[in-house]
Chains A and B, each alone.
Chain A
């Protein structure tokens, strides 16, 4: 696995260079906005990657909380299955289907999105166990904040030449994205500075409630009047197919890059916790208290540095 990382890093760098070329030189110029619209090729993939990472953080946090007891673990499993079944049926109810069509969304895409929840829940549960779920949660939150920061900075840079203003105060899309960023920054600050044994549990609860802002951000442009343009895929948005192709390519490249960064951050967090545990054991050996030695088995690493 260690040998695979540099190879994947080189391949991702080449892919990013290719998508940069596509974004700058291949995608056609927009008739209204000119070349400045090309910010979309970094702004939108960053937003989608951030949403995906926050979603994984949510799933990992639910796992962390649910896996504490066998009864809650079973309950969470059945809730995930129920969400999948209900999510597939509801979009095909005639009234809901009609309503979805009014906002330009296909029932199949709504059902697929709903199926993602149990699918990701079971994949995370299969691949990550015990403390690894918490490591995954902090990894996705941190990398998600980086991508969300890019969204919040490139958005105003794009808005200035197109809208004539840097920020539209009171706009639901912009405000909810800022709130989302603040929630996850507070999540990281909590993990960084709290020494309590409950830190991981508190952070997981904050992540579960924080994730509720993700659908609000995503669907805000469907449900509210906003300065922000309509979605480029679904929701009545229309985009030249060549532009859409470059946009999706850029998203793939950003996903590969995000995956590699998450991989590094995950390994770092695991190493840090091992070192912290070894240091604690070493200091216990020096003092040699049998009572304290037994408590050394409690997993360390509530914070993340």
Chain B
């Protein structure tokens, strides 16, 4: 097996792993800010 050729697959796997985690954490942050906004709106309404 060509080790130099296959190393790009290793980098790809590690990059994809952290990309997926980053995207998921990003979605959590977005949902948190949406809920906080809703809480703020509820506070204003009272």
Residues of A within 8 A of B (CB): 20, 32-36, 38-39, 42-43, 46, 143, 146, 149-150, 153-154, 157-158, 160-162, 257, 261, 264-265, 268, 271-272, 275, 278-279, 282, 305
Contact = CB atoms under 8 A, between A and B. Distances in A.
Interface string B9-32: 110111011001100110010011
Q: Say whether chain A's binding surface is mostly helix, strand, loop, or mixed.
A: helix
A179 to B, nearest CB: 20
Contact of B9 (A20, A42, A150, A161): A161
A46 B28 contact: no
A264 B17 contact: no
B10 A39 contact: yes
26 contacts: A32-B1, A34-B3, A34-B6, A35-B3, A35-B6, A35-B7, A35-B10, A36-B3, A36-B10, A39-B10, A153-B13, A154-B13, A157-B12, A157-B16, A158-B9, A161-B1, A161-B9, A261-B24, A261-B28, A268-B31, A271-B32, A272-B31, A275-B35, A275-B42, A279-B38, A282-B42
B23 to A, nearest CB: 9
Contacts of A264: 28, 32
A275 B37 CA distance: 10
A146 B24 contact: yes
Nearest to A23: B14
B24 A39 contact: no
Nearest to A271: B35
A82 B40 CA distance: 50
A39 B32 contact: no
A43 B35 contact: no
B43 to A, nearest CB: 10
A153 B20 contact: yes
A264 B29 CA distance: 9
